[in-house]
Amino acid sequence: MSDAKKVKYVLEVKGQPAGAGVEIPGLGVFENGTHEITDQQAEDYRDRNAVATVETDEDGVITSTVDRGMTLLEASEGMVENVSVSTYEKASPKGGDK
């Protein structure tokens, strides 16, 4: 398995009506169950949730910075109750290789 395919997180969704999903902006829509999130998906999530700041100093010089978004694990602390995220190593999904 290439580095981009390695699983970084396990996302679990519970309590949704059949066929309904929970949208995680920058990651996708997930129905009930356990979902493996690859390292590449996790990095893309951070990039899609980046925040750009543009400032102009007193001389009119414009500077900009981009701060990457939170990691999926950090962001999960503010997610709805029926969504949980854990690192792959702690979740140990069935049949998964570390």
- Is the residue at 98 inside a domain? no
How many distinct structural domains can be found in the chain? 1
One digit per residue, the tens of pLDDT, for the chain of length 98 reads: 455 568 889 999 998 898 889 999 889 999 999 999 999 999 999 999 999 999 999 999 999 999 999 999 999 888 878 899 998 776 555 544 43
* pTM, 2 dp: 0.71
- Is the residue at 27 inside a domain? yes
- Is the residue at 97 inside a domain? no
- Is the residue at 42 inside a domain? yes
Residue 16 belongs to what domain range?
3-91
Residue 97, Cβ density class (10 Å: 0-12 exposed, 13-18 middle, ≥19 buried): exposed
- Is the residue at 47 inside a domain? yes
